[in-house]
């Protein structure tokens, strides 16, 4: 961890938390979800994905978990009456390098992205400076882990179309949205790379329309400085991509900020005409979208 981050977060050992936000009751703010089932679990969450079993009604949460020495994915069962998460399973394998995001495809299957090869901060910086394409996408089918996309430059967030036919992958430094066709065995076939001329972080798919919402940072040098020192402001941006099948038909900017109000946007979610924007270090922003 860079020294400025150490100073920002403090030297005390801590753990991460997972929160719930209810779009129907935004005035309640966020609520921490307690974790049951594994008292020894240390949680440092990063990417997150939800799987809803429509037959049983159960909701499972898959979370990328960082530790000082390795990365893994944790599986939880959401307990709505308790507003809690029950820890079910830890997925750990040498295929996890520097994991960034996870995309659930079933109760025991998922994709995850390795944004780089080296787990350490120093190693990651050494591969990023010459822009080495050491990132990849790995698929776990319930039995084995296998690489399905390789030679990627900073693959970041990953999401799937509502019908499960297409997978969307954001690349930060390459600044493209990659669209893949998903085959029955989980393999991914590249269909298109959409240049968006901004640093892409995480995509989400709007449930009402299937459109793609992406949290981005459009001033790279500010974001790099912010990642090293959380007290340095960074710009924020949210893009909305309208889709038809596998095609992106239009791109619009729903939010833009030079760092005056929100620092380093990473992800956004839409519900009706309300939007929630997340950041790396700063805060959550809830706002109304009147242009839809």
pLDDT tens digit string along 103-156? 999 999 999 999 987 777 777 777 777 777 889 999 999 999 999 999 999 999
pLDDT at 132: 74
Round to whole Å and give the CA distance between 275 and 206: 11
Mean model confidence pLDDT for the chain: 91
Compute how many other C-beta atoms are within 10 angstroms of the C-beta atom of residue 123: 15
Element (H, E) at 29: none
- Asked if residue 15 has pLDDT above 80, the reply is no
pLDDT tens digits, 150-191: 999 999 999 999 999 999 999 988 889 999 999 999 999 999
pLDDT at 12: 47
Mind telling me the catalytic residues? 46
Contacts 24+ apart (CB under 8 A), 284-290: 284/21, 284/30, 285/261, 286/21, 286/26, 287/255, 289/254
pLDDT at 3: 45
- Asked if residue 4 has pLDDT above 60, the reply is no
The angle subtended at Cα 179 by Cα 175 and Cα 181, nearest 5°, is 160
Round to whole Å and give the CA distance between 267 and 200: 9
pTM of the model: 0.93
pLDDT at 10: 53
Q: How many helices (H) and strands (E) does the chain have?
A: 3, 22
Element (H, E) at 227: helix 220-228
The closest alpha carbon to 267, from 281, 258, 275, 278, belongs to 278
Round to whole Å and give the CA distance between 17 and 32: 7
The angle subtended at Cα 225 by Cα 222 and Cα 229, nearest 5°, is 135
- Asked if residue 61 has pLDDT above 80, the reply is yes
């Amino acid at each position: 961890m860079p020294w400025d981050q150490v100073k920002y977060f403090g030297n005390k050992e801590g753990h991460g938390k997972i929160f719930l936000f209810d779009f129907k009751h935004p005035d309640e703010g966020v609520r921490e979800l307690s974790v049951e089932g594994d008292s020894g679990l240390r949680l440092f969450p990063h990417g997150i994905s939800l799987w809803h079993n429509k037959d049983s009604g159960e909701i499972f949460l898959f979370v990328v978990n960082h530790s000082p020495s390795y990365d893994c994915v944790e599986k939880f069962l959401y307990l709505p009456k308790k507003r809690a998460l029950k820890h079910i399973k830890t997925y750990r394998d040498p295929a996890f390098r520097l994991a960034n995001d996870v995309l659930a495809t079933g109760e025991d299957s998922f994709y995850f992205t390795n944004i780089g090869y080296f787990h350490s901060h120093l190693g990651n910086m050494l591969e990023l400076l010459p822009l080495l394409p050491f990132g990849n996408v790995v698929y776990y089918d319930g039995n084995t882990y296998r690489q399905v996309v390789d030679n990627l430059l900073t693959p970041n967030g990953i999401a799937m179309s509502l019908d499960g036919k297409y997978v969307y992958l954001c690349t930060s430094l390459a600044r493209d949205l990659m669209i893949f066709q998903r085959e029955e065995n989980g393999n991914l076939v590249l269909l298109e790379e959409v240049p968006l001329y901004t640093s892409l972080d995480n995509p989400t798919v709007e449930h009402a329309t299937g459109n793609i919402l992406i949290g981005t940072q459009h001033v790279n040098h500010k974001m790099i400085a912010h990642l090293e020192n959380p007290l340095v402001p960074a710009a924020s941006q949210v893009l909305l991509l309208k889709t038809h099948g596998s095609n992106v038909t239009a791109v619009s900017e729903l939010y833009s900020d030079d760092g005056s109000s929100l620092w380093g946007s990473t992800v956004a979610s839409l519900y009706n005409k309300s939007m929630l924007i997340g950041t790396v270090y700063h805060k959550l922003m809830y706002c109304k979208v009147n242009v839809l």
